[in-house]
Amino acid sequence: MARPIEYRWRAAVTDAEMVALVQAHGGRAVAGWWDQVRPHSLGWVTARLHDGTLVGFVNVAWDGGDHAFLLDTKVRSDCQRRGIATTIVSRAALHAKAAGCEWLHVDFDEHLASFYFDACGFRSTPAGLIHLPSIASPRGRDGGS
């Protein structure tokens, strides 16, 4: 029988492990990303094999009040479809609740709708998004700050 996955909240995870995890699910890894992001995190959930290998991760950012934001859900390709992401998201939700948050937000590509709605229990809500690098820089007499 497969040994159980160990799930932890705010347990140590190195930048190098994050790079390896992103590469292991076929993503584009950026060294230094986790070191930059971690100080702004309410917390994160890690999933590790019994030998310590990091196989799953999700980050929870927050506004310091009622709102928490789920970001960067990831599971190694060779460990997917075993319920690991569903478990890390549910742990993240419970810890955000325990921290006093009222709402947990997430956004995602269409093909993951069944994961977030059906498996994780999010409900659909109107939301908006701006890709900030696409905004035209101000010009003319109103330019500047």
Ligand X SMILES: CC(C)(COP(=O)(O)OP(=O)(O)OC[C@H]1O[C@@H](n2cnc3c(N)ncnc32)[C@H](O)[C@@H]1OP(=O)(O)O)[C@@H](O)C(=O)NCCC(=O)NCCS
Stretch binding ligand X (CB under 6 A), from 5-13, 72-80, 123-131, 133-141: 72-80
Q: Is 75 in the site for ligand X (CB under 6 A)?
A: yes
Q: Is 111 in the site for ligand X (CB under 6 A)?
A: yes
Count residues near ligand X (CB under 6 A): 17
| Residues 27/77, Cβ–Cβ less than 8 Å | no
- Cα(11)–Cα(18) distance, integer angstroms: 13
Judged by CB under 6 A, the chain residues 30 through 69 that form the site for ligand X are none
- Select 84 or 96, whichever has its Cβ closest to ligand X: 84
DSSP 80: -
Q: Is 103 in the site for ligand X (CB under 6 A)?
A: no
Q: Is 117 in the site for ligand X (CB under 6 A)?
A: no
Q: Is 82 in the site for ligand X (CB under 6 A)?
A: yes
Stretch binding ligand X (CB under 6 A), from 60-68, 76-84, 91-99, 133-141: 76-84
The C-alpha angle with vertex 61 and arms to 59 and 67, in degrees rounded to 5, equals: 130
Measured from the Cβ of residue 22, the count of other Cβ atoms closer than 10 Å reads 19
What the block records as the tokens of 46 is 């890690």
Identify which of 8, 3, 2 has the alpha carbon closest to the alpha carbon of residue 50: 3
Site of interaction with ligand X (CB under 6 A): 25, 73-75, 80-86, 108, 111-112, 114-115, 119
